[in-house]
Amino acid sequence: MKYFLKILLAALILSSLFSGYSGRLEAAAKTQSIAPDFILQGLKGETVTLGSYRNKQPVFLFFWTTWCPFCRRGLRDLSENYPELAEKGWEVLAINIGEPAEKVKGFIDNYSPQFKVLLDQDLTAAYAYDVLGVPTYVLIDKTGLIVFKDNYLPLDKM
């Protein structure tokens, strides 16, 4: 099963790399839809439900893996920008896709994130958000609408 997940994730990354500009247009077309709810476990054992943020604050989702070099840069950039994002009212949820908790814990310690790191071990959230490659960034406004989804960090949109 682990081998299958790794092959699936590699295929998703390759497909997103070769989708180019048309992928950006497709991603833009999927915005302004209601964000699918999810319930995920955090690295600290907490349960996080996306719906609990609706009508309270905007949410920034960051789908990532430990083996993705672009995700490492994304984690570093999010860690550096988190104080400003939090000051603006954003909740940041970094969602690891399909990897064991121990591997993620060992990896994430190098980044010391102040935001929540969640585990999507069965890929439920990744499928709900049509994640086609990592990293994938999703911005959800206060009302629960997806206002941005793409493979680059959209700090200019926040």
Domains and CATH numbers, the chain: 2-153 (3.40.30.10)
Residues above pLDDT 70, as percent of the chain = 80
C-alpha span between 133 and 15 (Å, rounded): 7
C-alpha span between 60 and 158 (Å, rounded): 9
Q: How confident is the model at residue 154 (pLDDT cuts 50, 70, 90)?
A: confident
Each residue of 82-135: pLDDT tens digit?
999 999 999 999 999 999 999 999 999 988 999 999 999 999 999 999 999 999
For 121, phi then psi, to 5°, come to -70, -30
- Tokens of residue 146, six digits: 């997806």
Whole-structure pTM value? 0.81
Quote the DSSP letter at residue 85.
H
C-alpha span between 60 and 14 (Å, rounded): 24
C-alpha span between 14 and 11 (Å, rounded): 5
20 with 52: CB under 8 angstroms? no
